[in-house]
Amino acid sequence: MNKTHISLDVRNLDAALAFYRNFLQAEPAKVRPGYANFELDNPPLKLALNQANEGSVSHLGVQVADREAVFQSIERLQAAGLETLVETDTDCCHAVQDKVWIADPDGHRWEVFVVKGDAHNPEAEPCDCSCSA
């Protein structure tokens, strides 16, 4: 169950939700203050929307099925000489996750991550992790 992950910073979350509901023909899987996400099976996509001052691409990623896939990615990326940032049991986007971050030569940030469960505080700020860095 690998899914492409796209995280967008949006100026108006309500307007973005209305747009993506129509565009994707789907309802969001999660809506929190300043944050929402859509989980699609076809195409396999996790689209996150983060309230921000400017609209832009926040980061990109691949959601994997389990923790082992994250750690295999860490080993592979480090063996290739890429600089990685590893986060385990991090509270990000209202979920507990294990992940590894890398950046391409132009600075586009990618993550390989697994969602281990919902975060415990639904009123918390959208992100407490490197995705907002």
Domains of the chain, first to last: 3-132 (3.10.180.10)
Identify the band that residue 121 occupies on the pLDDT scale cut at 50, 70 and 90. Answer: low
| DSSP secondary structure string for all residues of 87-100 | EEEEEETTEEEEEE
Tokens of 57: 């691409």
**Model pLDDT for residues 82-114, shown as the tens digit of each residue:** 999 999 878 876 789 899 998 987 688 899 999
Q: What pLDDT does residue 126 have?
A: 52
- Using pLDDT thresholds of 50, 70 and 90, give the confidence band for residue 117: confident
Report the alpha-carbon distance of residue 74 to residue 101 in Å, rounded: 9
